[in-house]
Copies of this chain bind each other. A is one copy, B any other.
Amino acid sequence: MSKEIRFTRRVPSGDDIERSICDRCGFVDYENPRIVVGSVATWEDRVLMCRRAIEPRSGYWTLPAGYLERNESPEEGALREAWEEARARLEIDQLLGTYAITRISQVQLIYRARLVDPDVAAGPESREVGLFAWDELPPPDQIAFPSVRWALADFRASASAPLFAPHARTDEGQGGP
């Protein structure tokens, strides 16, 4: 059924930006940027990471994160993703960073969080999960996305701060993740 879908780029009436409009039914896909929520979560200075079992970047290490769902707050979404991907229960501390991946219209809201207990296990989208000391983190070439490296660096830079303004990064001019 999906093979029948064709969208044409044109400006809808009353708008001033070109949108994707379905040739068959006239549906306007506003293609809003998507929100990814996740966390850098620690247990006694060790960081929770997940080895991806799904594409993209299957086999690479990432932070527990994923798309915010409807009717969900960002904090709820970050807690849900930690459970889904790592069977981890978290307490959120504060927003660590906002990372704009403008090339793919994605805004990531990554929180600083603490694990409630060290019991973690791979969920269906993870091959394995682990709690890593800073000097034992997976090497950069085994990290799934640049934004994961940004979050780890920002976490480390703010690790001793009781509170801080969130870090803000964008892929503009950097080639992007």
A interface residue numbers (CB < 8 A to B): 1-2, 4-5, 17, 22, 24-27, 29, 31-35, 67-75, 94-95, 98, 100, 102-103, 105, 107, 109, 163-166, 168, 170, 172
Q: Which residues of B contact A170 (CB under 8 A)?
A: 73, 75
Other-chain residue from B27, B98, B166, B168 in contact with A27 (beta carbon distance below 8 A):
B27
Other-chain residue from B33, B73, B166 in contact with A102 (beta carbon distance below 8 A):
B73
The answer to whether B74 and A107 have CB atoms under 8 Å apart is yes
Smallest CB separation, A120 vs chain B (Å): 22
Contacts A33-B69, A163-B164 known; list 18 others, CB within 8 Å. Answer: A1-B26, A5-B26, A17-B69, A29-B29, A33-B35, A68-B107, A70-B105, A74-B100, A74-B168, A75-B168, A75-B170, A94-B165, A94-B166, A95-B98, A98-B109, A107-B109, A163-B165, A164-B165
A67 to B168, CA, bound (A): 19
Other-chain residue from B71, B95, B164 in contact with A168 (beta carbon distance below 8 A):
B95
A145 to B130, CA, bound (A): 43
Smallest CB separation, A1 vs chain B (Å): 4
Smallest CB separation, A141 vs chain B (Å): 27
Smallest CB separation, A52 vs chain B (Å): 17
A105 to B168, CA, bound (A): 23
Highest count of chain B CB atoms <10 Å: which of A17, A95, A165: A165
Residue of B nearest to A28 (CB): B2
